[in-house]
Amino acid sequence: MQLLSVILCSLLFSFASGMRCSSSMPVIRQAYPESSCIVRPFNEIPGLWKNGVVNLYNFWKLDGFKNLHRIMLQNFNTYGPIYREKIGYYESVNIIKPEDAAILFKAEGHYPKRLKVEAWTSYRDYRNRKYGVLLKNGEDWRSNRVILNKEVISLKMLENFVPLLDEVGQDFVARVHKKIHRSGQNKWTTDLSQELFKYALESVSSVLYGERLGLMLDYIDPEAQRFIDCITLMFKTTSPMLYIPPALLRNIGAKVWRDHVEAWDGIFNQADRCIQNIYRQLRQETGESKEYPGVLASLLLLDKLSIEDIKASVTELMAGGVDTTSITLLWTLYELARHPNLQEELRAEVAAARAESQGDMLDMLKRIPLVKGALKETLRLHPVAVSLQRYIAEDIIIQNYHIPAGTLVQLGLYAMGRDPKVFFRPEQYQPSRWLRTETQYFKSLGFGFGPRQCLGRRIAETEMQIFLIHMLENFRIEKQRNVEVQSTFELILLPDKPIILTLKPLHVSQ
């Protein structure tokens, strides 16, 4: 009976929309063109999408704001590899398979567009600030992104970034040695999250502004500390506003909105201060300096983007470039502490790379495939982004369902990373799986995909690889037994409790 209604519906649908599955249907993309000729209509996609308000209430009852990633996983288990949902005012189709991800990204169009973080655009509108590359869309996004790509993500930039990031990495190691020495116990047991946050902020600031903030020192400038607090507050206050219109919260003067505004104000103020410093320096400088001055100064000197556009994008790079890498590093250290043998394997790889490259960091980075695999593995199990999203630019067929152009389609990254149909023994942390020849087609998507992928990817990858090189060369990483950590959603995925790690020096002399 059900099959019959599916066939009837599909026929009706096909007649209505002229979308019978045949070789004369070139514009619609699908994974298995040969597999079935019945294209089911959009309205038949399983899921709860009829009453957004009721769904929002149920979502809230399940503490969905924190459990979004687990709820998605559960939905895939209930409905299969595609489901449709509406929570509050926000509606999407969710997919999980790599081959379906391929269809999705092929249909993203010239100006890929993802889910708008309404809280962030509302702040910009409220304060009359420009959108940066993270929030822009259409031709405005593309023209800015093309220029930023050259300065931020092109491979050529690595030789500029590596010395700056290496210096921060070395300072981090010196700081840990100092902490170990002061403990008097030849080890340092701590929740590293704040330290990693400072490492990430110092790194990204060094690359963007060509300027050290001094966060590896004992005394922290209160302004830098305020910036750290503002970024944490900005992420924390964003997730509740994903499902409730910020305009409403603003009108009723809700605390979450006020805190959000305060957080972004702090982030923009810090960026403004750094930008003014750079201006001052550029004015004072006479003659050509051979040293790389950082992304911001390069963009100003290039003179291809307006100052307001540069400010907006650099501030977004700064805001997006701290929690993301610090949390990924924390998860990686946690996994290495849980897998001591693997930790030794990585250490051996780093030692060999150091010897072969004679300490040339740029060269060394080309010789650490397992370390790179470890970072991919961390992003598989603990992705910063729970999902990737696109408003599709053309009609597509996924899992034999028609999805019309303009629909928001989400690829469940967290769910895909844990799917046994996609990854062999997904629960196991195995960096070597990324070295094997087994297909990696649309499986490593932690930084997104295509022209709209993470702009900071090159900085993030280099910063994290250099960090791991230095840590593995200097310390053994251990964790308390029997403490397992889960994740919680606060726009990005965070550990649900402090991760306490112990760092022990490898060399007695230090």
Residues contacting ligand HEM: total by CB under 6 A: 27
Binding segment (CB under 6 A) for ligand HEM, from list 123-131, 191-199, 450-458, 476-484: 450-458
DSSP letter for each residue of 74-117: HHHHHH-SEEEEEETTEEEEEE--HHHHHHHHHTS-SS------
Nearer to ligand HEM, 133 or 267 (CB): 133
CA 125 – CA 418 distance, rounded (Å): 38
The answer to whether residues 336 and 478 touch, using CB atoms and an 8 Å cutoff, is no
Binding segment (CB under 6 A) for ligand HEM, from list 238-246, 298-306, 359-367, 451-459: 451-459
| Interaction between residue 160 and ligand HEM (CB under 6 A) | no
Nearer to ligand HEM, 118 or 316 (CB): 316
Six-digit token string for 479:
């964790």
Nearer to ligand HEM, 19 or 416 (CB): 416
Binding segment (CB under 6 A) for ligand HEM, from list 94-102, 219-227, 356-364, 452-460: 452-460
In sequence order, the β-bridge partners of residue 82 are 95
109: left (phi over 0), alpha (psi -120 to 50) or beta: left
Closest CA to 189 of 475, 497, 390: 475
| Interaction between residue 133 and ligand HEM (CB under 6 A) | yes
Distances (CA, A) of 306 to 130, 157, 241, 309: 11, 22, 31, 5
Least CB distance to ligand HEM at residue 289 (A): 23
Q: Is 230 annotated as a binding residue?
A: no
* Residue carrying structure tokens 């799917």: 419
Nearer to ligand HEM, 39 or 95 (CB): 95
10 Å CB burial of residue 364 (0-12, 13-18, 19+) is buried
Six-digit token string for 217:
């020192």
Which residue among 266, 417, 446, 505 contacts ligand HEM (CB under 6 A)? 446
CA 148 – CA 14 distance, rounded (Å): 44
Would you call 186 helix, strand, or coil by DSSP?
coil
| Interaction between residue 316 and ligand HEM (CB under 6 A) | yes
Least CB distance to ligand HEM at residue 456 (A): 2
Binding segment (CB under 6 A) for ligand HEM, from list 50-58, 318-326, 337-345, 500-508: 318-326
Nearer to ligand HEM, 86 or 452 (CB): 452
CA 191 – CA 160 distance, rounded (Å): 32
The residue type at 396: I
Q: How many helices (H) and strands (E) does the chain have?
A: 19, 11
Interface positions, 112-131, toward ligand HEM (CB under 6 A): 114
Site string for ligand HEM, 172-201 (x = CB under 6 A): ------------------------------
CA 476 – CA 351 distance, rounded (Å): 14
Binding segment (CB under 6 A) for ligand HEM, from list 14-22, 85-93, 174-182, 324-332: 324-332
| Interaction between residue 325 and ligand HEM (CB under 6 A) | yes
What are all long-range contacts of 236-239, with beta carbons under 8 Å and residues at least 24 apart?
236/490, 237/119, 237/263, 238/117, 238/119, 238/120, 238/490, 238/491, 239/65, 239/489, 239/490, 239/491
| Interaction between residue 409 and ligand HEM (CB under 6 A) | no
The number of beta carbons lying within 10 Å of the beta carbon of residue 382 is 25
| Interaction between residue 334 and ligand HEM (CB under 6 A) | no
| Interaction between residue 204 and ligand HEM (CB under 6 A) | yes
Distances (CA, A) of 438 to 15, 274, 422, 445: 42, 46, 11, 16
Interface positions, 455-494, toward ligand HEM (CB under 6 A): 455-456, 459-460
The answer to whether residues 452 and 108 touch, using CB atoms and an 8 Å cutoff, is yes
C-alpha neighbours within 13 Å on the C-beta side of residue 74: 9
Least CB distance to ligand HEM at residue 320 (A): 4
| Interaction between residue 210 and ligand HEM (CB under 6 A) | no
Binding segment (CB under 6 A) for ligand HEM, from list 26-34, 246-254, 428-436, 454-462: 454-462
Least CB distance to ligand HEM at residue 291 (A): 20
Nearer to ligand HEM, 33 or 495 (CB): 495
Nearer to ligand HEM, 10 or 462 (CB): 462
Site string for ligand HEM, 376-395 (x = CB under 6 A): ---x----xx--x-------
Which residue among 55, 92, 193, 324 contacts ligand HEM (CB under 6 A)? 324
Nearer to ligand HEM, 208 or 261 (CB): 208
Site string for ligand HEM, 7-46 (x = CB under 6 A): ----------------------------------------
Which residue among 45, 101, 104, 134 contacts ligand HEM (CB under 6 A)? 134
End-to-end CA distance of the chain: 75
C-alpha neighbours within 13 Å on the C-beta side of residue 242: 21
| Interaction between residue 447 and ligand HEM (CB under 6 A) | yes
| Interaction between residue 452 and ligand HEM (CB under 6 A) | yes
| Interaction between residue 326 and ligand HEM (CB under 6 A) | no
Interface with ligand HEM (CB under 6 A): 114, 133-134, 145, 204, 316-317, 320-321, 324-325, 328, 379, 384-385, 388, 446-449, 452-456, 459-460
Q: Please give the annotated binding residues for heme, written as ranges.
A: 454
